[in-house]
Structure 1
Amino acid sequence: MIYQPVNQSQLISNVDRLVRDILFGTINLQQIKSQLNEFYHSFMISLDSDSKYSKPIQSFIESTNAIIAGDYPCNVFWDDEKTMQFIKVLSSYDIAIKKDYSAWRYQGNKNSERLENNIRTLISNYSRLLFVRVDLKYIQENSRHITIRDFDFHMKKLRDFIHNGDTCFTHLLGYAWSLEQGEDNGGFHCHMLLIFDGSKHYKDSYLADQVGQKWREITEGVGYCFIVNTKEYKETLARYGKLGIGMIHRNNLQEVENAVEAALYLTRPDKRDGSYQRLKVALPNMNTFGQSMIQ
């Protein structure tokens, strides 16, 4: 892992939000100027030419370059005049950004359809399935050093373990994962669903903990795992008739529908807390969502 002098993922998230705030009219001139002077220099020197950035990020880079021309980022001060020029240039990207957002939502819907079909097929083939949900993250004080390259490397290693069927991944019938980036702290994370043969496994919280230990091993101790399959959380879901993780029985229609609903959380563009968790930087040919039925 290469330690970065700046919190690259946080900067990317801040710039992405700034662009959206400008285009949606939720920020004034003085706030824009202040954020440009706060983010611009550090962001520009941390850019990775091999990475792919979200449409808002691309628009920010092209718009600021149009204003600054050949000047070095460290020499730039954003006054009222430059800031107003930037806003004017950025506004020309409004339609392209909205189209990109619509395409992202459309792909999310297509992912939902495929995932639901695959899950229902598994349910029709097995009388009992064990649904395990984990969120794979990084410890807060270490997350500022994690780059998209680190995240991609860690996820590839994890998927290798999954496909090899070793240790906690034995009797795994299918899984799905979604890569995201926090809006507030810019932290990279993965929502993951693992579906096991319910006739071979029944301790879902134990399996989730084992997956968490594997994640910590892969990340050399800087990662942590949020386990959804805790006794307390499942009891809360059950009280509201929403329990869709743990052991799911094919002949219990309510459990089946709850399981499908819980699984589709991975594919939803907008999370329940209203935050914008889309991955804002990626490597070439890097998928942000994937699923595999490996029965």
Structure 2
Amino acid sequence: MIYSPVNHSQLISNVDRLVREILFGTINFQQIKSQLNEFYYSFMVSLDPDFRYSKPIQAFIESTNAIIGDAYAYNVFWDNEKTVQFIQLLLSYEMAIKKDYSAWRYQSHQNGKRLENNVRTLISNYSRLLFVRVDLKYIQENSHHITIRDFDSHMKKLRDFIHNGDTCFKHLLSHAWSLEQGEENGGFHCHLLLIFDGSKHYKDSYLADQVGQKWREITEGVGYCFIVNNKEHKDALAAGGRLGIGMIHRNNLQEVENAVDAALYLTRPDKRDGSYQRLKVTLPNMNTFGQSMTH
């Protein structure tokens, strides 16, 4: 693993948010100028030609390059004049960014339709299914070391384990995963859904814990796993009539609908906390969502 000297993922998230706030949010002129001076140098010197950046970040790069030209980033100070120029240039990207956002939401909807069909087909084929949900993240104090290359490498290793079907992935019937990036800290994370044969497994929290241990092994100790299938969380969902993880019985219609809803969380562009969790940086040909077909 190559350790990055700056929190590149948070920097990327900050720049992406700055552009979106200028175009669609509420941010005043002084805040824009202050953030330009705070982010510009560190961001520009950390750019990687192999990375694919979000539309807002592309707009940031192109707009600032048009103003700064060949000047060395370290010597740039964003005064009022440059900041006004930046805002004016950025406005020309508004439609392209909106179009990209709409395309992303449409793709999320299509992913959700396929995932729902997958889950419902599986439920119709098995009387009992064990639904396990985990969120794979990185320990906060280590997250600034993690680049998109690291995250991609870790996910490839995890998918290899899943496809091999050994250890904690034995009797796995179907799975889905969604890669995202935190809004506030820029942390990369994966929402993972695992659906097991309910006649072979029944200890969902144990399986979830085993997946978490596998993730820590893959990440060499810098990863951690939030187990959605823990008792406290399940009790809270059950109290609200929304429990859709753990053992799901085909003849219990409420359980089935809750399970479908729990699965579709992976494809919702608007998360429950209202934050914008879309990946702001990817590698070429890197998928941000995937699922296996039902058996």
If the TM-score is normalised by the length of the shorter chain, which range does it land in?
over 0.9
1:135-146 counterparts in 2 under 5 A? 135-146=135-146
Q: Which residue of 1 aligns with 2:3?
A: 3
Name the residue aligned to 2:112.
112
Take 2:8 and 2:243, find their aligned partners in 1: how far apart are those partners? 38
Is contact 1:129-1:198 (8 Å) kept?
yes
SS at 2:103 equivalent: helix
Q: Which residue of 1 aligns with 2:12?
A: 12
CA distance in 1: counterparts of 2:128 and 2:75, whole angstroms? 64
**Counterpart position of 1:177:** 177
Matched, 1:163 2:166: no
Structure 1's consecutive aligned runs of 4 or more residues displaced over 4 angstroms after TM superposition are none
CA distances 1:191-234 after superposition (whole Å, capped 9, x unpaired): 00000000000000000000000000000000000000011111
In structure 2, C-alpha distance between the alignment counterparts of 1:233 and 1:5, rounded to whole Å: 36
TM-score normalised to structure 1 length: 0.99
Distance 2:144 2:197 in 1: 38
Stretches of structure 2 that go unaligned for 5 or more consecutive residues are: none
Given the alignment of the two structures, is residue 279 of structure 1 paired with residue 279 of structure 2, yes or no? yes
Letter of the structure 2 residue corresponding to residue 235 of structure 1: D
Structure 1 residue 25, shift from structure 2 partner:
4.2
Partner SS state of residue 47, structure 1: coil
* Whole-angstrom distance in 2 between the partners of 1:239 and 1:139: 30
Deviation at 1:294, TM superposition (A): 5.9
1:62-83 CA-partner distances (Å, limit 9, x unpaired): 0000000111111100000000
Q: Is the 8 A contact 1:119 1:260 kept in 2?
A: yes
Q: How many residues align?
A: 295
Matched residue of 2:145: which SS? coil
How far off its partner does 1:293 sit? Answer: 2.6
The answer to whether the 8 A contact 2:121-2:294 is kept is no
Aligned positions of 1:54-203 closer than 5 A: 54-203=54-203
Gaps of 5+ in 1: none
Question: SS state of the match for residue 14, structure 1?
Answer: helix
Corresponding position of 1:218:
218
Alpha-carbon deviations, 1:3-47, whole Å to 9, x = none?
A: 111110000000000000000141111100000000000000001
CA distance in 1, matches of 2:24, 2:232: 40
- Look up the equivalent residue of 2:45 and give its one-letter code: I
**1:181 CA drift (Å):** 0.2
| In 1, Cα distance between equivalents of 2:25 and 2:287 | 31
Give 1:83's aligned amino acid. T
- The SS at the match of 1:202 is coil
Distance in 2, matches of 1:47 and 1:54, equals: 13
Deviation for aligned residue 1:179:
0.2
Identity of aligned residues (%): 84
1:237 maps to 237
CA contact (8 A) 1:172 1:294 kept: no
> Which residue number in structure 1 is paired with residue 27 of structure 2?
27
What is the RMSD of the two structures over their aligned residues, measured on CA atoms?
A: 0.6
Which AA in structure 2 matches 1:155? M
For 1:137, what is the secondary structure of its paired residue? Answer: strand
Secondary structure of the residue that 1:262 maps to in structure 2? Answer: helix
